[in-house]
Amino acid sequence: MAEVSPEEWGTRYRAARGTYQSMTARLRALVIDLLAAADVEVIQVEARTKDIDSFTEKIIRKRSKYADPLTDITDIVGLRIITYYVEDVARVGELIRSEFQVDEANSIDKAAWQDPDRFGYASVHYVVSLSPARQRLSEWRPYAKIRAEVQVRTALQHAWAAVNHKLDYKSATEAPPELRRRLFRLSALFELADEQFSGLRDARVRIEAQYATEVEDGQLEIPLDEVSLAAYLQDQRHRSRVERIVTGNGGRIEEPSSRKLARDRKDLLKVLTSIAISTVAQLDEYLTREIFAVPLEGSPLFRGNDIGVEDALTWILLADQQASQDSFRQFYTPESWGNFLDDVQTWHQAKGTGQAGTGQAGTDQAQDKTGSPYGAATL
């Protein structure tokens, strides 16, 4: 039987490539769903189907290795999962092993087997195929015999790989002596940075737990930052007071997405910083005296809106401080300004200050009547 030429294999691949492209797209979508279900947050999931020229070139370069390149080449379908932390590389690996059949002979942890004279530290590569259960599903049956390569690496490993690819030095022996030391130092810094990022994450978790305990115990003399603000508003005693203002004045409490929640906390912290509130104790004092004590219920303050606690509190504080239009537009759309002015009027009438939303001048007068020790110079 005559040997099939690389060009003929390329022709066969061209005819079948649509199936591989479909597999690539479906596999990427599946992996994204699996990561979300397992609550593993990653930076991105890249996917590609090997192009025809690359497929043919690989056969030419490694002709003796592949009896049937369409079956034997394991990276025609390729995914790359880029994680935030080193520990997440292992978590993703566990997920892959639980959801796919892993070809151990062709899979490799390149970091574990790194030669001491090679620069950097490499990703983990898994060669996978569909699990027997998934192969039996009609939508996956066309891809039952296709293998794929899944690379898993951190963002810094990815950055190193990209730069090192440009330098094109795979090992120390390939680099000029005057560059060798600098490359080793740089690769060590990348690895150290990955370790430090993991350490910072662990420290944040520890601080979050510490703040939550202190807030629960009423120990509020702690610096105000995003973490302590979250601890304060996650405590149901404080959170429920904001919720009552919202639901008692025409609104409904929603649980925002994690991304919106992070943005809302940043906005709220910015407002609090602008009025010189720098500790949780000061925040609690201000809210207790100036916000939660206001006898306001049954007004259209939130007009049937679904709103998160942090976002609602930002709106209330801007109204209480009678923010200028320029300050207001840092947080909300210009179209909301008219409603905001109405809410400032409603809020201060309930407080007994009687001031309309006129910006800084109105704020100064309102401060005189409320006796608040916190200024609003930047609002």
- Runs of H (alpha helix) within the chain: 6-37, 52-61, 69-72, 86-99, 132-135, 155-167, 177-216, 226-234, 236-247, 258-274, 280-286, 309-320, 325-328, 337-351, 360-370
CATH classification of 6-192, choosing from 3.10.110.10, 3.30.470.10, 2.40.37.10, 3.30.460.10? 3.30.460.10
Q: Cα 16 vs. chain centroid, distance in angstroms?
A: 37
Beta-carbon contacts of residue 103 (< 8 Å; ≥ 6 apart):
74, 127, 128, 129, 147
For the chain, residues classed under CATH 3.30.460.10 are 6-192
Distance separating alpha carbons of residues 169 and 79, to the nearest angstrom: 24
Kindly state the DSSP code that residue 321 receives in the 8-state scheme.
T
Residue 49 neighbours by CB distance under 10 Å: 21
For 131-157, the DSSP string reads -HHHHTSTTTGGGTT--EEEEEEEHHH
pLDDT digit of tens for each residue in the chain (379 aa)?
Answer: 568 899 999 999 999 999 999 999 999 999 999 999 999 999 999 999 999 999 999 999 887 788 899 999 999 999 999 999 999 999 999 999 999 999 999 998 755 545 544 445 567 999 999 999 999 999 999 999 999 999 999 998 888 877 766 665 555 566 677 777 777 777 788 888 999 999 999 999 999 999 999 999 999 999 999 999 999 999 999 999 999 999 999 999 999 999 999 999 999 999 999 999 999 999 999 999 999 999 999 999 999 999 999 999 999 999 999 999 999 999 999 999 999 999 999 999 999 865 444 444 344 433 433 344 454 445 7
- Say what the pTM is: 0.70
Distance separating alpha carbons of residues 126 and 31, to the nearest angstrom: 13
Q: Do 85 and 201 touch, CB atoms closer than 8 A? A: yes
